[in-house]
Structure 1
Amino acid sequence: MSALSLAARDSSTMLRRNLLHARRYPSMTLNLLLTPIVLLLLFVYLFGDVMSAGMGGGAADRSEYIAYIVPGILLMTIGGTLVGTAVSVSNDMTEGIMARFRTMAIHRGSVLIGHVIGSVLQAVVSVVLVGAVGVAIGFRSKDATVLEWIAAFGLLALFALAFTWIAVGMGMVSPNAEAASNNALPLIFLPLISSAFVPVGTMPGWFQPIAEYQPFTPAIETLRGLLLGTEIGNNWWITIVWCVGLAVLGYRWSKRVFDRDAK
């Protein structure tokens, strides 16, 4: 069996292990999934009328704000699932299982790859569930083509992959699960200070650069453009640069810590 086949086999085994863990301990996944759903319902039904009126809709018509907020909530869902990834990796690092894996005849990178693929799959499933809630309360895409839907799905998957590698690195350097959870909190906090809930132009002038020059805002605007037909501008390539840069950074960071601890 070739080295590539061995790596694929061992990574598949580690992926199954992580998915089994997620199925046996669903409480964290459910808690992290409920947060974006609660925020979606809260903002739509508490502030939806006012926000829609401000965006040109009728005073009693929430459809404009539903269309605006759902893409942001989808990206926020990905950020939320990463806390579970960081905690899971930290548990493996601190409870001795990683040391045991190193003594076994398995591909060295399969443990990390299993975590990454498992996290991306969970993020995608979470996005689908939150998206279904959005559709149930009135979200509708405006004439998006099949290619635009595929591009939107690819954007979400790429975003999840990039930030998953960052979450893996956070988990590996954390001394315990609590620290890993705290270290990953910025991944939940960043969407709150992006264009997810209100346009950047309506924010205070001093705050606008904070919201604009971070990875979530261009990704949200690109997703809105694909699904709603709004102007994308430079946001698509800025999003790709952010994703590629973060994926490379997270991968090299995780690999360096993994190799260092193996010595």
Structure 2
Amino acid sequence: MSGSAGLTAAGPRTPGWPGYARGQFLLSWRVFWRNRRSTFIGFLLPVLLNLVVAAPLRGREIAGVGAAAYSTVGFIGFALVTSFINLLNGVVARRDDLVLKRLRGTEVPATAVFAGQFGAAGAVVLLQTVVLGGVSVIWFGAPAPADPLLFLVALTGGFLLFAVLAVALSGLTPGAEAAPMVATPVLLLCMFAGGVVAPVSSMPHWLQGPVHLVPLAPVVETLRTAWFGRAFGTESWTGPALAPADLLHGWQHAAPALLVIAAWTAGAAVLGRRFFRWEPRRG
């Protein structure tokens, strides 16, 4: 009896940060799978594009690895861009529907709001990675990842980059109807200049340097280095096979690309702090 009275006097327990983040995660997860548009863009599009693009490349090689598997790992990186599109749409829609404003007025921490939403998007990316990785190994005959830790670091770093970029650009997006106009240039730039399907060396020489600084390019390069155990970045359709690299040399080669990813993430975070809004834009 006294224990019961003590509980009553203390008042109801609050879920705490993990509970709030879990609630936001479950909400975002349900909304994602119930929305056909977000399910198609955020989950099916990279898988379907990979099947269309990579299947005809079976039997060909790039830098000593199967071209179909090479392309499939590129589409794992492309999944980060489709995740960015859904996050951008989701943040802008929640802002315009005043969901973010109402959450801001509660005891739910801002970090828990975004941790839950990022967590749901990250879970979708992991699921896509399993699907695309399975296609690469089972259908296209790729080996298992040579350096799983480096692969996970590159995937996590790339996801955080595009997740923070989505929040930052949401502040520059007038409304939900304008979100596609903001997201599409990023999608096209990463698709055609990120080395998703073809080596960057296949582009005009004067573009190759700047293209390496496109947000997706260092992510895809590091994912391939980690998966195939070779120092990717200078490969070409007709060039020689790249020599295998041990774990140490793989990390050394990936270091500049990881620094570019970190720089992009830091820049997006600064942009987000400056422009992100909890309420709809006025005027």
User: Hey, what's the Cα distance between the residues in 2 that align with 1:238 and 1:186?
Assistant: 25
Give the 3 Å change call, closer, same or farther, for CA 248–135 of structure 1 in structure 2.
same
Is 1:16 aligned to residue 26 of structure 2? yes
Q: Which residue in 1 is equivalent to 2:73?
A: 71
Structure 2 residue identity aligned to 1:65: A
Higher mean displacement: 246-255 or 66-75 = 246-255
Residue of structure 2 in register with 1:41 after alignment:
51
Measured at CA, do residues 45 and 122 of structure 1 come closer, stay the same or move farther in structure 2, by a change above 3 Å? Answer: closer
Aligned mates of 2:73, 2:271 — CA distance in 1 = 30
- Aligned-partner Cα distance in 2 for 1:249–1:259: 17
Aligned to 1:253: 271
Q: Deviations over 1:42-75 (max 9, x none)?
A: 22333555xx26x488xxxxx7211321221110
Q: Note the C-alpha offset of 1:79.
A: 1.0
Answer yes or no: is the 8 Å Cα contact 1:170–1:180 preserved in 2. Answer: no
Match for 2:179: what amino acid? A
Give the 3-state SS of the residue equivalent to 1:106 in structure 2: coil
Describe the superposition over 1:69-90 as per-residue Cα deviations: whole angstroms up to 9, x where unpaired: 1221110111112111100000
Partner of 1:81: 83
Q: 1: CA distance between counterparts of 2:226 and 2:169?
A: 31
Q: State the match for 1:238 in structure 2.
A: 256
Deviation at 1:142, TM superposition (A): 6.3
Write the distance in 1 (CA, Å) between the matches of 2:119 and 2:55: 35
Instruction: Answer yes or no: is the 8 Å Cα contact 1:71–1:223 preserved in 2.
Output: yes
- Could you say what the CA RMSD is over the residues aligned between the two structures, in angstroms? 2.8
- The alpha carbon displacement at 1:259 in A equals 6.5
Per the alignment, residue 25 of structure 1 pairs with 35
Number of equivalenced pairs: 248
Distance 1:249 1:113 in 2: 19
Question: Could you tell me the TM-score, scaled by structure 2's length?
Answer: 0.75
Rate the CA distance shift 1:136–1:188 in 2: closer, same or farther, 3 A. Answer: farther
Distance 1:93 1:213 in 2: 31
Alignment correspondent of 1:173: 172
Partner of 1:104: 106
TM-score for both structures, normalised by structure 1: 0.81
| Bigger CA radius of gyration | 2
Letter in 1 for 2:192: L
- What secondary structure does 1:169 align onto? helix
Give unmatched runs, 5+ long, in structure 2.
1-14, 233-249
Q: What are the ranges of 5 or more consecutive residues in structure 1 without an aligned counterpart?
A: 58-62
Q: Give the corresponding residue for 1:60.
A: none
Return the alpha-carbon distance in structure 1 between the equivalents of residues 143 and 111 of structure 2.
Answer: 40
CA distance in 1, matches of 2:278, 2:199: 44
For 1:101-180, list aligned pairs within 5 A.
Answer: 101-141=103-143, 144=146, 148-180=147-179
Q: Which residue of 1 aligns with 2:236?
A: none
Does the 8 A contact of 1:120 with 1:164 survive in 2?
no
**Per-residue deviation, 1:223:** 1.8
Indicate the SS of the match to 2:110.
coil
Alpha carbons of structure 1 residues 64 and 130: separation in structure 2 relative to 1, 3 Å: closer
Counterpart selection for 2:17 from 7, 17, 24: 7
Contact 1:218 1:235 in 2 (8 A): no
The code of the aligned residue for 1:153 comes to L
The answer to whether the 8 A contact 1:75-1:191 is kept is no
Cα distance in 1 between the residues matched to 2:132 and 2:145: 21
Distance 2:132 2:90 in 1: 23
2:195 and 2:217 in contact (8 A); partners too: yes
C-alpha separation in 1, matches of 2:35 and 2:153:
28
Are the equivalent residues in 1 in contact too, given 2:104–2:278 (CA < 8 A)?
no
Q: Which amino acid aligns with 2:45?
A: T
- The separation in 2 between residues aligned to 1:236 and 1:56, in whole angstroms, is 17
**1:75/1:101 CA distance change after superposition, 3 Å:** same
Distance in 2 between the 1:235 and 1:76 partners? 21
